[in-house]
Structure 1
Amino acid sequence: MKNFGPFPSYADALEAACPMILSKPNAVVGYLQGANPELARRTATEYCAWLYYTPAHMYELSMLTDRSAPDDVVTGRKSCVLPAFVNDTRYESADLKYIIALHNHPFGTQVSERDMRFIEAMASVHSWVITTRDHGQVLLSIVAFFSNSKDPGAPTCDGFYQYIPATRAMVRWTRLGGKWKQEIIALAR
């Protein structure tokens, strides 16, 4: 899949990324948990991408990957290995600003310890705070999209968990009456 965008705001990019990622095969398997947890665990797939800011003052989604961590088979975990850098030949690598590591959680769970360690490691490679032309400062974070849909053929984008290393905040975003509602669910560690 090629880069997805451009978008005039990171909110627009998140709105587009959520249903796109959740519509991928086995991106949502929570509906299987009660009936067949082993099948749910075996078939679950995580997909991930970067949301980044370009010198054109637009937001782009990188190519989507579903590459798993090597130890996933042994541990039974599901993860997605996101490369540290995006290859967007339209721009110099140093000119791209990384904003959000996007992925799905097939079971609808919050951002994991492993996810938090990943984005904290990325904060040592990329800036913790990005200054954008139209949206001011944006903090580096990681997002895990989830769906509460019981219909495997029609997953809905019901929300996402977001962990922001600069503030150590864990936030749950859900739709309420067509608007996004923010709830701080925990201060991580």
Structure 2
Amino acid sequence: MDFGPFDDFSDALEAACPLILSKPNASVGHLPGSDRQLALRVSTEYCAWLYYTPDRKYELSMLTDTPVPGSSFRGETRCLLPPDVNDSRYPPSSIKYIFILHNHPFATSISSGDIRFAAAMTHAHALLADVGNRKIPLSVIAFFANPANEANSRCGGFYQYIPATRELLKWVHSNGDWDGVRLGRVEWTSDTKFDIIKER
């Protein structure tokens, strides 16, 4: 896999988006109008960790497309990401977990499953990762294709949920940079239940 390592997480995200979306059936938004059941059957979600190493580099874990058990019966396409990275070069405690990366084949926003998984990972790893001279909040990112080039899996941007701030964001790549807008927030009503408050 041709990826990194990178000195900056924004460069790593810019490389990870087209890499993940180039995988087979990672983007099928062009199919539902003709046959949604076919689109569901052929769509594939890929997951990986973007993590920070003791070498002060951002790296991508191996991609997985193992489905979450039972997700296909619920009409979903979800991959199962291991909670930890297996990188034999470094002690496990030295790895900083930054982003849960995956694609949304139908270009949908952050799902309830994404929010729950991100919350669970903040209990397994740090809510804020100490990365050099900055702190980066752990978050979940869902890449989507460029609507104008969806059949070719060109990167359109990503949706993001940040548990530390409870924000829901949307980012698009424009003029060599990421432009973001806040879509809303997540309000937890208990340890297991939450409401999504949309602002856009």
Q: Indicate whether the TM-score tops 0.5.
A: yes
Match of 1:139 in 2: 137
Q: For the structure 1 residues 128 and 96, does the alpha-carbon distance in structure 2 shift closer, same or farther, using more than 3 Å as the test?
A: same
Give RMSD over aligned pairs: 1.5
What displacement does 1:121 show?
0.2
**Matched position secondary structure for 1:142:** strand
- Map of 2:38 onto structure 1: 39
Q: Do the aligned residues in 2 keep the contact of 1:31 with 1:150 (CA within 8 Å)?
A: no
Show structure 1 runs of 4+ deviating over 3 A.
148-153
Residue of structure 2 equivalent to 1:103: 102
Q: In the aligned structure 1, how far is the partner of 2:104 from the partner of 2:74? A: 16
1:60 and 1:151 mapped to 2: Cα distance? 27
Q: Counterparts in 2 of 1:17-166, with a 5 A limit?
A: 17-134=16-133, 136-149=134-147, 151=149, 154-166=152-164
Question: Given the alignment, which residue of 154, 167, 170 partners 2:168?
Answer: 170
Identity %: 50
- Report how far residue 154 of structure 1 moved: 1.7
Size of the alignment, in residue pairs?
A: 187
Q: Report the alpha carbon displacement of residue 38 of structure 1 after superposing the two structures with TM.
A: 1.2
- Judge conservation of contact 1:48–1:80 (CA < 8 Å) in 2: yes
TM-score for both structures, normalised by structure 2: 0.89
Provide the rounded CA distance (Å) in 1 between the counterparts of 2:113 and 2:127.
18
Indicate the residue corresponding to 2:13 in structure 1.
14
CA distance in 1, matches of 2:93, 2:108: 33
Partners of 2:156 and 2:109 lie apart in 1 by: 13
Measured in 1, the distance between the counterparts of 2:165 and 2:149 equals 36
Q: Distance in 1 between matches of 2:146 and 2:34?
A: 15
Q: Name the aligned partner's letter for residue 51 of structure 2.
A: Y
Assess if the C-alpha contact under 8 Å between 1:4 and 1:62 holds in 2: no
Q: 1:152: Cα distance to partner?
A: 5.8
**Partner residue, 2:189:** none
The residue matched to 2:10 in structure 1 has which SS?
Answer: helix
Q: CA deviation at 1:155?
A: 1.4
Distance of 2:100 and 2:3 partners within structure 1? 14
- TM-score of the superposition, structure 1-length normalised? 0.94
Cα distance in 2, alignment partners of residues 79 and 132 from structure 1: 29
Q: Which sections of structure 2, spanning at least 5 residues, go unmatched?
A: 187-194, 196-200
Higher relative contact order (CA 8 A, sep 6+): 1
- Which secondary structure does the structure 2 equivalent of 1:6 belong to? coil
Q: SS state of the match for residue 34, structure 2? A: coil
Measured in 2, the distance between the counterparts of 1:107 and 1:91 equals 36
Amino acid at match of 1:94: S
Mapped to 1, the partners of 2:47 and 2:147 lie a distance apart of 20
